[in-house]
Structure 1
Amino acid sequence: MSLSVQCPVKGRAIPMSEVPDPVFSEAMVGPGIAVDPERAEADAVAPVDGTVVTLHPHAFVVLAPSGQAVLVHLGIDTVKLKGAGFTLHVVKGETVRAGQRMITWNPAEVERQGYSPVCPIVAVEAKPDQLAALRESDAVELGDPVFTWGS
């Protein structure tokens, strides 16, 4: 089964190799892409339909009915902000639809605090050859397809 993963934040798509954190740039969690977000307060939305299985102020994982999990990480090292500047709109265990508002945050403020606002979008534990149609450049809007994940 193929899963279309949608863009959770507005900005510019970049290759995962450009993320300033080896956990993501070396695909230790899984392959995917990243988005350099616009520097304004914005919503991060669900990339797929599914269940919120992990939820932190700076990151979330949505598990699709197919069993594929997608991680969205809002910025790099933003766990150190201890939730400051992030507003949650869902709870762990909630069923969400692709495009549903998950977290409101401000990438410009993250950057002012000294952290990278780049957002990895990860196909958790996928093999690199399972991803297709990776969007690794150009502007992306909320809901734009960023990659397809085949089983």
Structure 2
Amino acid sequence: MTTVLAPMSGSAVGLAAVPDPVFSQAMVGPGTAIDPERAPGQAVAPITGTIVKLHPHAYVVVGADGRGVLVHLGIDTVQLKGAGFHLLAAEGDHVEAGQPVVSWDPAVVEAGGRSPVCPVVALDAAAESITDVASGRVDAGDELFTWS
């Protein structure tokens, strides 16, 4: 069983609230989404593992059990080409759950006309394997969902 932690503080709103069908229809995988606080902050590793993909706007951490968790910082943020994001880790790094990976400002993303909502997805997981999904207020490092 894998406990996935909230990568940032905000409100857990569910994938259906993500304004992108790839995430809202769980095409990438099941999980949830966080509507982040509108303040500069850090996105942290949702699980302990290795960063296998790292872009300024998104990252994937794979645990020792081979399970990967995607954190996507806002929607359509790839168009920003890294502006407003600062990498705090590198691809290939081992990270502990809760360790900062990227610093960013959701308010700047929103001011640019993009949604700052952050999908947190269990890659290649069956929908029924995701339980104990948080709703409402979460702080970075709180339990977000369980992957069994």
How would you bin the TM-score normalised by the shorter chain? over 0.9
Report the counterpart of residue 7 of structure 2 in structure 1: 8
Gaps of 5+ in 1: none
Percent sequence identity over aligned pairs: 55
| CA shift digits 1:68-104 (9 cap, x unpaired) | 0000000000000000000001000000000001000
Mapped partners of 1:81, 1:111: distance in 2: 12
Secondary structure of residue in 1 paired with 2:109: helix
| TM-score after normalising by structure 1 | 0.97
Report the counterpart of residue 17 of structure 1 in structure 2: 16
Matches within 5 A, 1:1-151: 2-135=1-134, 137-150=135-148
| CA shift digits 1:22-75 (9 cap, x unpaired) | 000000110000000000000000000000000000000000001100000000
Residue identity in the other structure for 1:19: V
Residue 138 of structure 1 and its aligned partner are, at CA, apart by: 1.2
Residue 126 of structure 1 and its aligned partner are, at CA, apart by: 0.5
Residue identity in the other structure for 2:106: P
Secondary structure of residue in 2 paired with 1:35: strand
Gaps of 5+ in 2: none
| TM-score after normalising by structure 2 | 0.99
Mapped partners of 1:66, 1:132: distance in 2: 18
Secondary structure of residue in 1 paired with 2:113: coil
Residue 15 of structure 1 and its aligned partner are, at CA, apart by: 1.2
Residue identity in the other structure for 1:9: M
Mapped partners of 2:124, 2:17: distance in 1: 19
Residue identity in the other structure for 1:124: L
Residue 125 of structure 1 and its aligned partner are, at CA, apart by: 1.1
Mapped partners of 2:133, 2:5: distance in 1: 11
Residue identity in the other structure for 1:97: E
